[in-house]
Amino acid sequence: MYRKDQNPPSRFPENALLGHNLGRWMVARVKSRNEKALARDLMEQGIGYYLPMYEKRVRRKDNNKIRKTVCPLFPGYVSVAGGNEERHKILSTGRVAGILDVDDQERFVKELVQVQTVLDSGIEIEVYKNLVPGNRVVVKTGPFANFEGTILESQGESRLIISVNMFRRAVAVTVDPVDLEPA
């Protein structure tokens, strides 16, 4: 069991594939700063979830040291696998402001799998709060082959923006332009 001062795993059950729950995903809109606490509650109740997290680094002003914090990638949201019974249990935690139904389950899972793969790669990411307009591309080769996203030029580098429309958020990873082709 996880202690309250310890981060819960991003995925529960930990080795379950996101596609395993296709057709059953919903999104819990969580009260402020309750994402990890809800994840712990869901684990205790045996309810599957996905809460992608990343390490945020901020330089402290008082001593100039870098402070590392593990933060939810999509603040305010936790993806939950379940039906009506789970919906009732989620709402009874007191940590949820509402539940959003996922209309396009296949697209949602595809986007989450892409985000999970990028996070698992260990490559440094940037978090974007809004979807970024640009050209749609497909990655031809490399660790992100067949990923679809939007290309963005930033500081002389090409970045692949991978968005999760349900959350209206996106992550970016640096890619080599030769690995890309128009979608």
Q: What is the pLDDT of residue 131?
A: 53
Residue 181: beta bridge partners? 138
134 pLDDT more than 80: no
Q: Which two tokens stand for residue 104?
A: 């396009």
- Least confident range of 58-62, 69-73, 90-94, 151-155: 151-155
- Residue 146: burial class (beta carbons within 10 Å; 0-12, 13-18, 19+): exposed
* pTM score over 0.75: yes
Domains of the chain with bracketed CATH: 1-102 (3.30.70), 103-183 (2.30.30.30)
* Mean pLDDT across 84-108: 96
* Mean pLDDT across 16-39: 95
HSE-CB of 118 using CA atoms within 13 angstroms? 31
130 pLDDT more than 70: no
**Nearest C-alpha neighbor of 151 from the set 136, 169, 173, 171:** 136
